[in-house]
Structure 1
Amino acid sequence: MSQFTLSELATALDGGTETGVSFEGRAEKWGTAEAVKNLVEEIDKCKKLVYLNLDGNTLGVDAAACIGEALKKHPEFKKALWRNMFTGRLKEEIPKALDHLGKGMIAAGAQLTAFDCSDNALGPNGMTGLVELLGSPTCYSLQELRLNNCGLGIGGGKMLANALLKCHKDSVAAGRPFQLKVFIAGRNRLENEGAKALAKVFAALKTLEEVAMPQNGIYLDGITALAEAFKLNENMQILDLNDNTIKPKGATALANVLHCMPKLREIHFAEALVKTAGAIVLADALQDDHTDLEVLNLGYNEIRSDGGYAISSALQNKHKLKSVMLNGNQLGEDCIFKLKDGFQSNPDALGSFSEDEGDDDEEEEEGDEDASDEDDETDVSHENGENVSENYGASDDENYTGEEEDADGVNYVTALSQSHTSNANDNSFQSNKSVSFIGEETRPNTVETFFNTPNPTAKMLADIPATEKLEAFRNFLSTFKENDYLTALVFTTLKCAALANESKEALDIAVALYKDAFDYAVSTRQVSRVKNFFLIQLGLLKCENKEFKPAYNLQSCRYALKETISKHNTIADDFKSTFNLFLERFE
């Protein structure tokens, strides 16, 4: 039989009503013991001090020492609501004042559940006054930590991370695991290093439900580290990275872990240079799941119409949406009309488009990365086709960091198509087959020859001696290494699809191989890559690379794709909805 503690009994008897002391917004100037006397008396008189709200006053060192002494008498204390309480104070005063307050709570044996020290100019110096508290048993019970607009900087961010890691480690050893749920730290200049330090905390905790880190100067390295940590927090509901530099690479890193956070209700990635490519990968990740989504904010991201159409498709099954913000992009009238049409049953959810800049139908270009964005040095080389096929076979959840894009945001499958179709012997395609190009009149009519020919003909297909040609293609493809199989499959599909208008046999093979490619993409979590590849190759989606030209008969390939979608009921809805949306635009 469980025991009822005195504190639980007291809570039950008073109906769970919280009591405490609030001096919120009084603009008091507490510098001395005499000046803070009234507040201390209120704290002493409160029999059950659950919260103390000092928001909007200003606190000096001597006054803080008196408050700390008063807090030593209140082990029941749970909520320190201390926003904006150091206005006009010297930076040397802040850490000392915080240290006095923290020592009072620690001495009392208080068990904090909420700590809000937002809108205080802490900086790294002020953070030193919180390190002891945040690493102590008083914070083992902490569920909400709010340090918004504190100017922590990289140094302060690292100190915060170390304190929280200590709290987690010690709490686990004590049998009372630290289970933080809400972490708010916007406008702190954390940058990549601070974000990476905090990512280690998030990965260790695994209990977060809300993370807000807007306007922190975080670039790809930091975004990627955070994404890897977020995927371990399956209860995440609110994710806010507004006004950092996410870009398409960061969007890809985040998209690849969204499936690990099925309870997401709010996504805020506004003013983050997500761009069209980033919007598409995020839309792909949201397409089938996340039906509890209520808020999506992708405003002011230089997203063009293709990204808008992808988002529109992804949101069709999100019936709980309350707010979708896409203003300040470059969607254009047609795309906005499509979005509004999709929200006819819920028009209030779709925000204004008053600042949409319109899609001028020019190719999107990415500017140079900021000097602090160090990840460009790790980009995959595409011009020589090196290291491309190795990445293509990796599943989305194997520490994938979005390196399929080059500095201009070009998806690497596009580069792969160029190198493969121009020269099948290029090193970008590492297979366990080796076929030298010889004159067409002397080539054997085999599946392997067909595969290695950049633009094979219908006659070449017809002359392949195999009775069951589809089975022959599948047998040939099965000989490729795992990392190359999908690459070989999609190119073989396109080569057959390009002949579909003139050959019934080519159409049947193409339809079957399209289906094989879709099924394999689903089973290996590569849906977004395969969709984007086919959309670009079929001219349904603009490529960011201005020099790219589709290598196959677009009309024929689209015809085979339509036939595939209409003939196979078992194709994932994710593929059907996306391809139907883009195909309709070209009819």
Structure 2
Amino acid sequence: MQLSPVLENLSVANNNIDGEGAQQLATAVLSSASLEVFSEIPIKKLRADALTKLDLRGVGVSGALVLSDLLKFSSALKSCNLLKNGLDVESATMLAKIGMEKGIMLSGMTRDQTKANLHGQKLQSADAILIGSDLHFMAVLISLVLPTNLIRDDGAKAIAEALKVNAVVTTLALGGNYIGGEGAIAISEALKVNAVLTNLNLINNSIGDDGAKAIAEALKVNAVLTTLNLGTNSIRDDGAKAIAEVLKVNAVLTKLNLKYNSMEDAGKEAVRDAVKDRSGFVLELHDVRCVPA
């Protein structure tokens, strides 16, 4: 693919070009000697290292490939808002790697903010990957609220990786994000080493028994989490019993929500028995949606 030798501005914003087509287009754009702007990306200014901040929309996968190449040589750029740009997991992962290496914020958040509320923003897995990258630079953020988005397992994994090194976030809300067992397992691995997170909300996902068992395993060693919301997560008796067992040895957790799952009486009873002698423990368990295993 070749572009006109006199073309200065080209936009393919919101065209959903991906795969080989995106790669070919990106190669042609980067090879052009005349192109100054591509899908709002100021190529000429970035090559001149003349920008410290960027806010882009609609760059897509091809734009992400172009941008990832340009960022490798930037020393001035410190902030680049790329949320809701239609990236895929691969291109977002590439940008996140470069962002962490170069110290460039990619999600529009700032290093000095203490709370981030991105509720219901239609964020995808790729967006969560960019947010995870930025968490490495945020030294005062204590609350990250991301419910009712679409980050799925890949997004949860990126946030979980950041939690392994982040030492300030105390509240994390990821409810309603289509997170399954794989995402919950990644989060559980972070809980084993994270020493600051006290409030974790995973309500209305689909972590199932595998996710519940993984989180229970993490609670055997986690010594800080006090509030855990696993309501509406398709957890059955096996998952409930695993949580019940860990509650016998974990003395830190003081509030647990397991409402609207799929436990039968045996699973519910196991959890109740595990905390019946714990003064002040708040257990939310009663519901009307229990179904047979």
Normalised TM-score (structure 1): 0.31
Residues 220/278 of structure 1: CA separation in 2 closer, same or farther (3 Å cut): same
* Counterpart pick for 1:200 among 119, 133, 137: 133
Write the distance in 2 (CA, Å) between the matches of 1:190 and 1:234: 24
Residue 228 of structure 2 corresponds to residue 296 of structure 1: yes
- Measure how far apart 1:320 and its partner are: 4.6
> SS of 2:136's equivalent?
helix
- Residue 170 (structure 2) aligns with: 237
Cα distance in 2, alignment partners of residues 170 and 271 from structure 1: 33
Report the counterpart of residue 181 of structure 2 in structure 1: 248
Structure 2 residue 206 is matched with structure 1 residue 280: no
Instruction: Provide, for residues 520-564 of structure 1, a one-character-per-residue CA deviation record: whole Å limited to 9, x for no partner.
Output: xxxxxxxxxxxxxxxxxxxxxxxxxxxxxxxxxxxxxxxxxxxxx
**Structure 1 unmatched ranges of 5 or more:** 1-123, 126-139, 141-151, 172-176, 362-587
**Matches of 1:324 and 1:342 in 2, distance apart?**
12
> Structure 1 residues 288 and 196 mapped into 2: Cα distance closer, same or farther (>3 Å)?
closer
Tell me the SS of whatever aligns to 1:273: coil
CA separation in 2, counterparts of 1:268 and 1:298? 7
Which 5+ residue runs of structure 2 have no aligned equivalent?
1-56, 59-78
C-alpha distance after superposition, 1:407-428 (max 9, x if no partner): xxxxxxxxxxxxxxxxxxxxxx
Runs of 4+ in 1 over 4 A off after TM superposition: 168-171
Q: How far off its partner does 1:356 sit?
A: 4.3
Q: Which has the higher helix share?
A: 1
The answer to whether the aligner puts 1:327 opposite 2:259 as a matched pair is: yes
Partner of 2:172: helix, strand, or coil? strand
What value does the CA root-mean-square deviation take over the aligned residues? 3.4
Decide which of 194, 199, 211 is 2:144's aligned counterpart: 211
CA contact (8 A) 2:144 2:172 kept: yes
**1:205 match: secondary structure:** coil
The separation in 1 between residues aligned to 2:259 and 2:284, in whole angstroms, is 7
Q: Answer yes or no: is the 8 Å Cα contact 2:254–2:281 preserved in 1.
A: yes
Number of residue equivalences = 203
Q: Which residue is equivalent to 2:85?
A: 155
For the 8 Å contact 1:208–1:233, the answer to whether it is kept is: no
Matched letter for residue 237 of structure 2: S
Change (3 A) 1:256 1:310: same
For residues 185-584 of structure 1, the aligned pairs below 5 Å read 185-205=118-138, 207-290=140-223, 292-344=224-276, 345-346=278-279, 349-358=282-291, 360-361=292-293
Could you tell me how far apart the structure 2 residues matched to 1:288 and 1:241 are? 22
Counterpart-to-counterpart distance in 2, 1:235 and 1:153: 23
Match in the other structure for 2:8: none
**Richer in strand (by share):** 2
Distance 1:170 1:196 in 2: 14
In structure 1, give the amino acid aligned to 2:220: Q
Shift of 1:170: 8.6
Judge conservation of contact 1:293–1:318 (CA < 8 Å) in 2.
Answer: no
> 1 or 2 for the larger relative contact order (CA 8 Å, sep ≥6)?
2
d(CA) in 2 for partners of 1:204, 1:180: 11
Structure 1 residues 204, 342: CA separation in 2 closer, same or farther (over 3 Å shift)? same
Q: CA deviation at 1:349?
A: 0.3
Letter in structure 1 aligned against 2:234: E
CA separation of 1:283 and 1:348: change in aligned 2, threshold 3 A: closer
Query: One-letter code of the match for 1:300?
Result: T
Deviation at 1:207, TM superposition (A): 4.7
What's 1:28 paired with?
A: none
Q: Distance in 1 between matches of 2:83 and 2:103?
A: 24
> Per-residue deviation at 1:232?
1.5
Structure 2: distance between partners of 1:235 and 1:316: 28
1:154 is paired with a residue whose SS is coil
* Counterpart Cα distance in 1 of 2:138 and 2:281: 37
Quote the residue 1:178 is aligned against: 111
Query: What is the SS of the residue equivalent to 1:257?
Result: helix
Task: Please tell me whether the aligned partners of residues 236 and 261 of structure 1 are also in contact (alpha carbons under 8 angstroms).
Answer: no
Identity %: 24
The secondary structure found in structure 2 opposite 1:201 is helix
Which residue identity is paired with 1:324?
Answer: L
1:204 Cα offset (Å): 3.1
For residue 321 of structure 1, report the CA deviation from its aligned partner: 3.8
* 3-state SS of paired residue (2:131): helix
